Amino acid sequence: MGLFNRKTDTATTTATPTATLDVDPALTALTGEYAIDPAHSSIGFTVRHAMVTNVRGAFGDFSGSLQLNGTDPHHSTAEIDVQIASVDTGIADRDAHLRTGDFFEAEKFPLMSFRSTSAEQLGGDSYRITGDLTIKDVTRPLAIDLEFNGSATDVYGNERVGFEGSAEILRTDWGLTWNAALETGGVMVSDKVKLSFDISAIKAAA
C-alpha cells in the first residue's frame, strides 16, 4: 500500500495524456490528521559504550502529529516534539549526566523536535521521510526509513495507523561532543547513535 508516494506507469501516461489515475480507496480513507499515541508508541536510541557494548534508552514524554494525504501521498507530513528531560536509560546517574551541559543541556534546551520536509516510497510498504531534526540550538537534516504496518480500528472505535522507523546520526553534528578516552584506546561513547521509532497514531474525529 503506497502511503507517502505513488509511482505512475510512464508509458501508459504518455500514451493517454488525458487519462486520470485511479486512487486506491484504501489510501483515500486514510487521509486526515493523526495524533501520535504515546501510550502505544516509543522513541528510542542505541549507542556504543566503551567500545564493547550497547546502551539503550528511550524518551518517555513526547507528542506529535501526522498529516496523511491518501490522494496525493507525497504531501503527507509528520512532526514530533520530545521532552529531553524524559530520557531514560535505566540508570538514574547516567540519565542525570545526559541532561547536563555535557550532553543535552535539558534545562536550557528542553525540546528535541523533528519537522518533515519530504517523503518518498522506497518500495512496497517501505518509505523514507526527510526533515529537520533540532537538538539544542542545532538544526540539521535527517532521513528516517519507515515501514508502514497498516491501519485498523481499535476496540474503542479509534482509527489507527502504525509505523516502525530507524535512522542513524552522528551526535557531534548536533553539538553533543562530550567524551572520555579509554586507556586501551578508543572512547567511552561512540559518535554514531541509532534512533528507533515505533509509532501508533489515532485519526482525529471528522
Lowest mean pLDDT among 24-28, 51-55, 169-173, 185-189: 24-28
* Percentage of residues in the chain having pLDDT higher than 70: 88
The span from the CA of 125 to the CA of 151, in Å, is 12
Average pLDDT over residues 157-167: 96
What is the overall mean pLDDT for the chain?
88
Confidence category of residue 205, pLDDT binned at 50, 70, 90: confident
pTM for the whole structure: 0.86
3-state secondary structure of 61: coil
Nearest to 128 by CA among 115, 147, 113: 147
End-to-end CA distance of the chain: 23
The predicted pLDDT at position 126 comes to 86
The predicted pLDDT at position 42 comes to 98
The span from the CA of 151 to the CA of 147, in Å, is 12
The span from the CA of 73 to the CA of 54, in Å, is 37
Say if residues 74 and 119 touch (Cβ distance below 8 Å).
yes
Which tops the pLDDT comparison, 21 or 199? 199
Report whether pLDDT(18) > 50. Answer: no
Confidence category of residue 125, pLDDT binned at 50, 70, 90: confident
Phi, psi angles (nearest 5°) of residue 75: -90, 5
What share of residues in the chain are helix, strand, coil (percent, to 5)?
A: 15, 50, 35
The span from the CA of 69 to the CA of 76, in Å, is 5
Confidence category of residue 168, pLDDT binned at 50, 70, 90: very high
Give 10: exposed, middle or buried? Use CB within 10 Å, 0-12, 13-18, 19+: exposed
Q: For residue 31, how far is the Cα from the chain centroid?
A: 19
Cell numbers 504518455 label which residue? 14
Q: For residue 171, how far is the Cα from the chain centroid?
A: 16
